[in-house]
Amino acid sequence: MSGLAGVMSPNREFERQKIVDNMLATLNHRGPGIRKKHSINKITMGMTVNVEKEQQVLPYVNEYNNKMMICDATIFNSHELGQQLKAKGHYLRTGNGEEILLHLYEEWGLDGLQKVNGFFSLVIYDKNTDKLIAARDPFGVKPLYYHQKNGTILFSSELKGIVASNLISPKLNSYCLNLYLILQYPPEPYSMIDDVYRVLPGTAMTFNKASIESTYKYHTFVFNGSNKFTQSKPKGGNKQEIAEQTKTLFQKSIQEQFENTSNPGAFLSSGIDSSSVVALLNKKYVPGISTFSVGFHFQKYDELEFIKNLTAQLQVNNYQKLVSLEELKNELRKFVWHLDEPVADPSAFGLYKGAELASNFVKEIFSGEGADEFFGGYNIYQEPLFVNKIQKLPSTVLSTMNSIFNIIPYNIKGKSLFKRANTPLSERYFGNAMIFTPAEKDNLISKEHQISGVLDKMFKPIYKNVEKCHDVNKMQYVDINSWMTGDIMLKVDRMLMAHSLSLRAPFLNLELTDWAYNLPVKWKVSQKETKIAFRRAMNDILPQQSVVKKKLGFPVPTDKWFENSLITWAKDLLLSNESKKYFNPNKVKKLMKPDKKTDFQGRKLWTLLIFLLWQDMYLK
């Protein structure tokens, strides 16, 4: 757990040191304790690290003093890799798993990254070639930003670090704002600030004399079993075989990630993902493990009551937090500062409060990220099965239905599904959340920032990679390469780092995910069930009500928040002069005063509010 900052520039060393100091000052939460810096040639790098690393030589430098690295990493196969490197004559100074990454590069170049089981972001300076290498893990768990202009390169774990360098004048990336309003997150490799980018997951970039020389995609998630990470591929198999192999790989991942902990706990919701992690940890590694759950006032569904019953059955400790609207208002600005980019996923605030609660008891937290994307857990993944039935109807029937639906109200049951059935997947599915439609977005956003065709630009290249796949696999691939990295991974990293917690995510294991996403569709979803193979695998691990429980997502009462005092709290900001720079004030007012037949459009107002709070901190 570290905060990274670095600069390559013609500035004198003491000037570079000051720049890195400014950047690290904003990242202390990522490695609370001390800051360490080192310079070679025109490069200065620094890290914020925990106190226990105080005696180590950081940033990492090899024995010949010709390679230097900063990294934020949790490596689960570091012992095995260390043995391989020692056998080849490498001297490991620290015994720290992070140091392994530098020697992997030294021995095998960028291909050495393919050997890593873990989460990481890194920057390496190679004095022999006078080049910089920047890379991230395949899942994008660990973030890494960069800015390159006029002979200078900046690197940082967070966007705020780049801004704090004082070498850029932050300007809004209008392309990202357009996509944010639709998707609720700014997509990689962009950031919400112009000329600041993110290194893509599974990618290593080489910089030569302050310009990008090459980009190497060392890992890509590919369907049809073409990944080389695992030998066995599910080409059929019976229920028992599929379930057993799924359980074996999942248990193996939990064991590997547990061995890299000192004081672990786990988030626990009512869903099967976190419940399975907790059940296996409790059974094999941490009896009575501490678990942490969050709920909100105004929630229609009381998830916490279900969790109480579950923890009693599993015999684990459970700490619960019920978040009030007053807490939300009091902490919203601090929350957005830690969020670092505007992500309008309201569950992020629940995660923020859950991490705050957990940080009082544990150092590492197990969580269920990745299960839905790789095993087929989202309810929307069932849609192609229903749509295909409609598409197989005779053309005369389809024509008649189309005529009928054109003259009846939009909210008649079945009309939306019929419309989607007559729209290609690549034109209707852009991930799990759509806040404003493209037309609504164009009516809302100011002409100065309006850009058309942003969905095509972002998603056409993604769909092109899976043209011949089943529609369910296409949807998974879209989510893995957009939603998962832009929303899920960003919010879990920032919210845990806000409270200096280290993530363990056993669903994010290359051997397990390779197995999961190459399962036949029939083992992922049916018309009645999602995540089929994984549910079968957990039959003898969890109570039956947890195995069969339908996915709910994380229920957040945004409509109720705005119906109550949040609308008063947010009014001045939503209608401010700053807001008018970006949004049509008449459209904003209409969202704030819904007619009597409709509820508050809480998700839309939340999306605007988060952006306006963010720009107030990052663009001024």
Q: Residue 473's pLDDT is what?
A: 96
User: What's the whole-number mean pLDDT along residues 380-399?
Assistant: 78
63 versus 24: which is more confidently predicted? 24
Closest to 319 measured CA to CA, from 366, 263, 267, 258: 267
User: What's the whole-number mean pLDDT along residues 252-274?
Assistant: 95
| Mean pLDDT of all residues belonging to the chain | 91
Q: Which two tokens stand for residue 45?
A: 């790098």
What are 459-502's pLDDT values in tens digits? 999 999 999 999 999 999 999 999 999 999 999 999 999 999 99
Provide the pLDDT confidence category of residue 228 given band limits of 50, 70 and 90.
very low
* Range in 62-76, 250-264, 290-304 with the lowest mean pLDDT: 290-304
User: What's the whole-number mean pLDDT along residues 254-268?
Assistant: 96
In the predicted model, is pLDDT for residue 64 greater than 70? yes
Q: For 201-279, list the strands marked E by DSSP.
A: 203-208, 211-217, 264-267
Provide the pLDDT confidence category of residue 139 given band limits of 50, 70 and 90.
very high
Could you report how far apart the first and last alpha carbons of the chain are, in Å? 30
Q: Residue 49's pLDDT is what?
A: 86
* Range in 234-243, 480-489, 546-555, 565-574 with the lowest mean pLDDT: 234-243
At residue 483, the 3 state secondary structure works out as helix
Provide the pLDDT confidence category of residue 284 given band limits of 50, 70 and 90.
very high
User: What's the whole-number mean pLDDT along residues 556-584?
Assistant: 95
Q: Which domains does the chain have, with CATH numbers?
A: 3-217 (3.60.20.10), 239-377+480-547 (3.40.50.620)
Provide the pLDDT confidence category of residue 211 given band limits of 50, 70 and 90.
confident
What are 354-371's pLDDT values in tens digits? 999 999 999 999 999 999
Please state the pTM of the whole predicted model.
0.94
Cα 404 to chain centroid distance, Å, stands at 42
Angle at 390 between CA 385 and CA 396, to 5 degrees: 165
226-258 burial: b if 16+ Cβ within 10 Å, else e: ebeeeeeebeebeeeebbebbbebbbebbebbb
How far are the Cα atoms of 57, 124, 568 from residue 83, in angstroms, in the given order?
21, 22, 61
